[in-house]
Copies of this chain bind each other. A is one copy, B any other.
Amino acid sequence: MASRTSQQPVVMTIAGSDPSGGAGIQADLKTFTALGCYGTSVLTALTAQNTTGVIDVHAPPHNFMYNQLVSVLEDIDIDAIKTGMLFDAGITRTVVRTLASHFHEKQMPPLVCDPVCVSTSGHKLLQPEAIEVIVSELFPLTALVTPNKTEASLLLTHCGLPSKVDDLTDMITAAKNLQSLGPKAVLIKGGHITVTLAEVEQLSIAQPEVRVVRQGLLGENMEILQSVERDLTTGPVVVDVLHHQGGTVLFVRPHVDSTSTHGTGCTLSAALACALAVDEDVVKATQTATMFTHLGIENAIPIGHGFGPLNHLHGITQRSVPKPTPSNPHPLTRALIESTGDIWKAYVQHEFVQQLARGTLSRACFLHFIKQDYLYLKYYARAYGLLVAKSSSFSQIDDATRTITNVINEVSTHRFFCAQWGISEAELSATPESPATTAYGAYILDVGLQGDSSRLVMAVAACLLGYGEVGLWIKRQAALPDTWVKLEGNPYLRWIEDYSGEQYQGAVKLGLETIEAIAVADPPSKRRFEEWQAVWERCTRLEKGFWDMSMGLL
């Protein structure tokens, strides 16, 4: 959800507290968080309650309520507001007047009024005198009011309007009548009214101007799903009725037989505020918010002994790799290296590397290595060719192609050493491949065949980054006082300089950026990160195996 004003829309709830966490500002804050909004919350009255009922209510002094409200309003820009339990006339009046005076000169953000009157368990949460204040003072500021059957009846009775809200036709009439009292739009929640799809269809025929939005019900051309799913079209459905300046809209979805309904109204109005904070279209907002709430009920987990809470967490997943930050601009690379610390170290500080840096590595070992590495680099260039084939943009194609060119340049080092020690290019090409070479080379091509481009990038990374690491490590060690590294007269100096040099390190930098960009553009699920990690680890082992082989240990 993107904000009109910032990365995180700021939403304010003005409501009661439910310590058991399913309703009140607790439900609101959970909803705001799950929908990517920043939540602020002003407490009107506190309850001591749980899933079985309300035990006690405590309302702080009106002046304290006022102080909370101004402390938020004066410091923080609000993108949307919801009101829940307002408890009494004094609190309601304080809320209305403070908002009206604060937004006297600037645009009032969309306000959703959930006219909480009675708890699910039957506890009265609004004193009768407050109703008049809601209607006469709060409604005119309200973008959307969201009564249920009982609340709609109470409000209508108070205003001397027909108060029967028992069926679909009643709901439409009630919505229209309530809207005439001042709010921009009215959403009558139908959770407690039994309706069938047939009734919706009849009404559609009788009142063709009424728009019907089907939610979570199979649509047209879904015979294949219909044939394997339980038929939800014959049972009861839940219909919420929206009336706004653009007309009347019915939101129709399957009735879920559940006792996990504690805080449904709070959650819905909180989700509505989140949706309105980013887009003022009340139909779209209702669609998003009713589905969020419906899924909260469907995904509920048993908690408590009465009417349990919704599951507010159904729509979020945990990141497996953090976003890059100033102090950790390469979180994926770090996570990969950290996850294989010992193997990575055994690779980049291999005995082969240490002897090479000392200049004591036997020429036979080095030549064995250089010949096999020459053969390996053919696989490696081909892997980047495969990456070109798997690319979806010219810039990806360009990056991978430049790496192929770099590999071809890298091979000139191999030719240089061979020529220096009397090995012809023909002999180099004719060298039989060692199993370690085939294993590693064929593995990265296999990863490239099996997975998408991200997995292939992980497969080529251990080689690209590891040789860069070796080059820099040797250089860093060489710069220490009393270093064990011997650069002067080292027969392998060119190798060290090539991998620590600007050109190769430039390729390493490009590789780092590529790896990190993948996780930013498409945050990996846990499973996907584990796949990447497994490929990285395998390649790190294969790299170590390559040097084991070169030293004749294998």
Contacts and interface: CB of A to CB of B under 8 A. Distances in A.
A535 B527 CA distance: 22
Interface string A138-151: 00000000000000
A357 interface: no
A281 interface: no
Contacts of A223: 468-469, 472-473, 476
Among A35, A55, A230, max chain B CB count under 10 A is at A55
A21 to B, nearest CB: 4
Contacts of A317: 316-319, 523
A228 B512 contact: yes
Interface in A49-96: 49-52, 55-56, 58, 60-61, 64, 67-72, 74-76
Interface stretch (A172-180, A183-191, A305-313, A366-374): A305-313
Interface string A469-497: 10011001000000000000000000000
Contacts of A60: 46, 58, 60
A289 B228 CA distance: 45
A274 B317 CA distance: 16
A222 interface: yes
Contacts of A72: 19-20, 50
Contacts of A330: 225, 228-229
A110 interface: no
Contacts of A17: 17, 41, 43
Q: Identify whether the interface residues of A are mostly helix, strand, loop, or mixed.
A: mixed
Given A8-B313, A58-B61, A523-B317, A26 B46 contact: no
A326 B468 CA distance: 52
A500 B67 CA distance: 68
A41 B55 contact: no
Contacts of A345: 220-221
Interface in A220-269: 220-230, 232, 254, 256
Contact of A465 (B33, B224, B528): B224
A383 to B, nearest CB: 14
Could you say how many copies of this chain the assembly holds?
A: 2
Given A8-B301, A312-B33, A341-B220, A450 B51 contact: no
A190 to B, nearest CB: 16
Contacts of A68: 19, 46, 48, 56
Given A38-B303, A349-B221, A505-B227, A298 B318 contact: no
Nearest to A312: B33
B522 A522 contact: no
Contacts of A304: 75-76
A323 interface: yes
A299 B315 contact: no
Interface in A340-385: 341, 344-345, 348-349
B314 A316 contact: no
A303 B522 contact: no
A39 interface: yes
Contacts of A230: 326-327
A322 interface: yes
A17 B304 CA distance: 24
A40 interface: yes
B58 A41 contact: no
Contacts of A522: 525, 527-528
A36 interface: yes
B76 A449 contact: no
A327 B349 contact: no
Given A21-B38, A64-B46, A326 B303 contact: no
Among A58, A74, A254, A450, max chain B CB count under 10 A is at A58
Among A219, A221, A229, A390, max chain B CB count under 10 A is at A221
Contacts of A509: 228
Contact of A41 (B10, B21, B328, B341): B21
Nearest to A1: B318
B389 A450 contact: yes
Nearest to A338: B219
A164 to B, nearest CB: 30
A314 to B, nearest CB: 6
A29 interface: yes
A409 interface: no
9 contacts: A50-B75, A216-B328, A220-B341, A225-B330, A229-B330, A316-B317, A317-B523, A390-B451, A525-B525
Interface of A: 1, 6-8, 10, 17, 19-21, 26, 29-30, 33-36, 38-43, 46, 48-52, 55-56, 58, 60-61, 64, 67-72, 74-76, 216, 218-230, 232, 254, 256, 295, 298-299, 301-306, 309, 311-319, 322-323, 325-330, 333-334, 337-338, 341, 344-345, 348-349, 389-390, 392, 449-453, 455, 465, 468-469, 472-473, 476, 505, 508-509, 512, 521-525, 527-528
